[in-house]
Amino acid sequence: MEEEADEERTAARRDARAGGAADGKPYPLGDLRVLDLSRFVAGPFVGRLLCDLGADVVKVEPPSGDVTRLFGVVRHGLSGLYFQQNAGKRNVCIDIKQPGGVELVRTLAAGADVVVENFRPGVLAGLGLGYETLAASNPRLVMLSISGFGQQGPEAGRQAYAPIIHAESGWVARRREILGAPLEDSVVSFADSIAGLHGLVGLLSALHLRNRTGRGQHVDVSMLDAWLATDDYVHYLLDGAERLVYQGGEVWEAPGGPLMLNRPQPQVWKILQEAYGLSAEAPAGADREARRRARREAILRWMRSFDSRDGLKRALEKVDLVWGEVRTSQTVLESPTVAARGIVALVADGADGQRRVVQSPYRFSEAASGARGAAPRLGQHNAAVFEEWAGLSAAEIASLVERKVLRAEEERE
């Protein structure tokens, strides 16, 4: 009778997590169990999105923790980047160097729908946690592996972080070729986020196929593949063009501060000249650069002729020149859209307070999504997860803790 009661309590807890939000709408992925073995940005980003969509995401960390626990503002022992990437997940801390540690990870994988990892190819297999091993016990398992250069190939074993892919993809050099920018990295880990988003698409596609076939599979996403698949200038390279033609926007010093327009200067000049009769005062026989400078000054004079910034914006909109405020790190969260759409949410901080996180961007008419709680502390959910996912008893869990296979934050050395 006691065992049946335990099973009923466990089922009830899982049903509660798989249920809907406060408004009664269901979460799209509320019936999925996800084992997140990943670190840093790309893999944890996938796990965070799956969690926002309702999945029960359990992050597995070693006693040393994910390195992102050190990145950003630390509040109540949790850093900003770690909190953002892991809000709503549960956490178990397993020391795989201890006897039985690897087997514990396998046990969790046997009860999971999805495993997410972003180690170098071969690392998990070398530990006995590769896809073939895990799938032998769980044929329905879908594993997503994100790596720099793919699971096979001449560079599969290379380490890769976002800056490396930014350089290898040609993007860093392209900024110099087109814009004259220095050879330096971005201040956003674009390659990680792009790979994570493509990984999520591949993962959900594999789950959709599993519904038809009953079998899972291994999804291999390379950061370099993902970047080039997303690059909207790569067609110039494929067609052998002698040079790339810049089609991006340009910033202008308008009344009231800088304003981004959606077109480069030659197109802005053509539109404004035809619509508003602008003229450029370039001397006869002037070269191309002199004409460009004269036209730019004519555009700036036209912009400065407006008494108000709103008047300038209306004139731009009238001729289909799209404008954007050049917001700073200090003002970006002041955007009226950020406020109106609830892009920044308050969630529990795990210490009787609240902390701000950016929401996932999905808005459904008939489903719920969004951050569902605080980021977890190391080993915070050891007992609950192993009881629910693996059916371990309190005595078995206590034994694992005593043997230091399972660890918790307060036990870190």
Which 3 state secondary structure label does DSSP give 258? strand
CA–CA distance, 116 with 55 (Å, rounded to integer): 13
Annotated active-site residue 231? The verdict is no
Q: What is the mean pLDDT of residues 368-379?
A: 96
User: Please, which pLDDT band fits residue 350 given cuts at 50, 70 and 90?
Assistant: confident
Q: What is the pLDDT of residues 219-268, one digit of tens each?
A: 999 999 999 999 999 999 999 999 999 989 999 999 999 999 999 999 99
Please, which residues have CB within 8 angstroms of residue 36's CB and are 6 or more apart in sequence?
Answer: 43, 44, 46, 47, 57, 58, 59, 60, 89, 116
- 143, 130 Cβ separation under 8 angstroms: no
Cα–Cα distance, 171 to 177 (Å, whole number): 10
Write out pLDDT tens, residues 170-184: 999 999 999 899 999
Is 356 a residue whose pLDDT tops 50?
Answer: yes
Mean pLDDT of the chain: 93
Please report the domains of the chain, with CATH numbers, ordered by start residue.
Answer: 2-233+361-411 (3.40.50.10540), 250-325 (no CATH)
Give the rounded distance of the alpha carbon of 157 from its chain centre. Answer: 23
**Residue 325 corresponds to which tokens in the numbers above?**
């405020």
List 52, 56, 113, 192, catalytic entry: 192
The pLDDT assigned to 351 comes to 87
Give the Å distances, CA to CA, from 96 to 129, 394, 404: 11, 21, 10
